[in-house]
């Protein structure tokens, strides 16, 4: 892994595997973009900053925050993006915006623990038939009508696959 975030995850949580894309792209979050900024302006700024064509910058999603600021999720060429990711900021218009790389941590679909895949699972418990959202058996997360309850920490209000979970946060404590 070539980014500071990936290296820090490996340093702090040695038994968790981190997945990086093999296609030569990095997925980045651009945070705190002024709400009046157009998607094209963001693509232009990223392309100019990392010295690639605008067509090499693919915007996957745009989210509006509660104060009308935007977060954009984009895919960019990995080799050129690494210095930008490590610098953690980019100027878009008059605003200096934060940059974070999306890091996927492997999760087992049998026991729902992080750090290994199902085929290497040694756990005695099988949660593969349990709903990821509420923990009950008999339905999938996409069909769940129950209130979210994490089966990892037992707290209501989030599911076991959300970053809100204290258990998940503990894995990345102090990293970001």
**DSSP character string of 9-75:** HHHH-TT--EE--SSSEEEEEEEEE-TT--HHHHHHHHHHHHT--GGG-EEEEEEE-TTS-EEEEEE
Token output for 148 = 């979210």
Domains along the chain with CATH numbers: 21-102 (3.30.70.330), 107-176 (no CATH)
pTM reported for the whole predicted model: 0.59
Tens digits of residue pLDDT in 77-101: 998 989 999 999 999 999 999 999 9
Tens digits of residue pLDDT in 17-59: 555 544 688 999 999 999 999 999 999 999 999 999 999 999 9
CA atoms within 13 A on the CB side of 147: 4
């Amino acid at each position: 892994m070539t980014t500071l975030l990936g290296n820090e995850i490996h340093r702090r949580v040695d038994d968790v595997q981190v997945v990086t894309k093999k296609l030569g792209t990095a997925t980045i979050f651009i945070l705190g973009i002024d709400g009046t900024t157009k998607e094209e302006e963001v693509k232009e700024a990223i392309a100019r900053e990392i010295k690639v064509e605008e067509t090499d910058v693919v915007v996957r999603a745009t989210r509006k925050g509660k104060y009308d600021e935007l977060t954009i999720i984009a895919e960019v060429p990995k080799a050129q993006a690494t210095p930008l990711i490590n610098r953690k900021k980019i100027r878009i218009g008059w605003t200096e915006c934060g940059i974070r790389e999306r890091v996927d941590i492997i999760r087992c679909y049998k026991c729902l623990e992080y750090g290994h895949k199902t085929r290497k699972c040694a756990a005695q418990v099988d949660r593969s038939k349990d709903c990821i959202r509420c923990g009950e058996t008999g339905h999938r997360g996409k069909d769940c009508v129950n209130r979210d309850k994490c089966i990892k920490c037992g707290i209501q209000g989030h599911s076991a696959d959300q970053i809100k979970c204290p258990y998940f946060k503990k894995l990345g404590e102090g990293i970001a």
